[in-house]
Amino acid sequence: MTVESTVKPLALLIPGLDGTGRLFYRQIEALVRRYRVLAWDFGAGADFDLASLVSDLGQATAAEPPGSILVVGESFGGPIAIAYVLRHPERVRRLILVNTFPYYSRQLRLFLGIRLSGLLTLDLARRIKDMIVDRILADEGIPEEDRLRYKEIVATIDLESYRRRLELLRQIDLRPRLPEIKVPAVLLAAGRDKIVPSVTEARYMASQIPNARLVEFPEAGHALLLTPGTSLAAYDDLPLDIISRQGPVSES
């Protein structure tokens, strides 16, 4: 007699430029009801490219059952998630992309970010950056406790890795491969995102990915997953046609 496995499926959360996976903290409680959650940490160091990042994810998820993984990519993690799904489509049950892109169109901003990233080793520059970010997050409705935790997490970022992730974005262009994505995809896009033109990018991706649904959050910003009421778990199992009719939903 065989015993049915009670092991939960995996939710693979691929982070943005922070690279730590720790900014998914508001999403974990709801997801663990149904999943084993792996909030990926890219680690320190600058010796990586897109292929090696996807290879690391592939090795970490090699033992998962076919068609079982929920893959989430936020911001920088979006193109990594797309590349992972293209490499391992047989492993994935659903793809959720949050405020992201297949190609970062604001190349001048990237260039300046790379050139100026070295200034973040200076205390004054970090203080100015923290003030600007705090103001933006407050305007986007992120509570003070979350703004403080965001600041604590960002302070732990390895600057060498951060700079390399910025450089990598100048090289990635997955637009031609979007039609190859066959797994169900949910695209979450914030209307007040000041980092990524999220709505424009998500509408484009929705037009290219065959089995995709787009949900727009007009009043939210780039830190959508810290916005009160936003839950990844609300989109992990709903039929795509229900999502397209209901628009933004939160888990009760």
Residue 1 lies in a domain: no
Residue 226 lies in a domain: yes
Residue 252 lies in a domain: no
* CATH value at residue 194: 3.40.50.1820
Distance of alpha carbon 91 from alpha carbon 174, whole angstroms: 20
Q: How deeply is 117 buried, as exposed, middle or buried, from its count of CB atoms within 10 A (0-12, 13-18, 19+)?
A: middle
Q: In 3D, which of 209, 214, 244 has the Cα closest to residue 86? A: 209
Asked if residue 211 lies in contact with residue 93, where contact means CB atoms within 8 angstroms, the answer is no
pLDDT, residue 91, reads: 98
Residue 58 lies in a domain: yes
**What digits encode the pLDDT tens for the residues 181-234?**
999 999 999 999 988 999 999 999 999 999 999 999 999 999 999 999 999 999
Residue 121 lies in a domain: yes
Asked if residue 21 lies in contact with residue 15, where contact means CB atoms within 8 angstroms, the answer is yes
Give the total number of structural domains in the chain.
Answer: 1
Q: What is the pLDDT along the chain (252 residues), one digit of tens a residue?
A: 344 457 899 999 999 989 999 999 999 999 999 999 999 999 888 889 999 999 999 999 999 999 999 999 999 999 999 999 999 999 999 999 999 999 998 766 665 665 555 655 546 456 666 677 778 888 888 999 999 999 999 888 888 888 898 889 989 999 999 999 999 999 999 999 988 999 999 999 999 999 999 999 999 999 999 999 999 999 987 788 877 655 565 444
Residue 4 lies in a domain: no
* Residues, the chain: 252
Residue 102 lies in a domain: yes
Print the domain residue range for 234. Answer: 10-246
Residue 5 lies in a domain: no
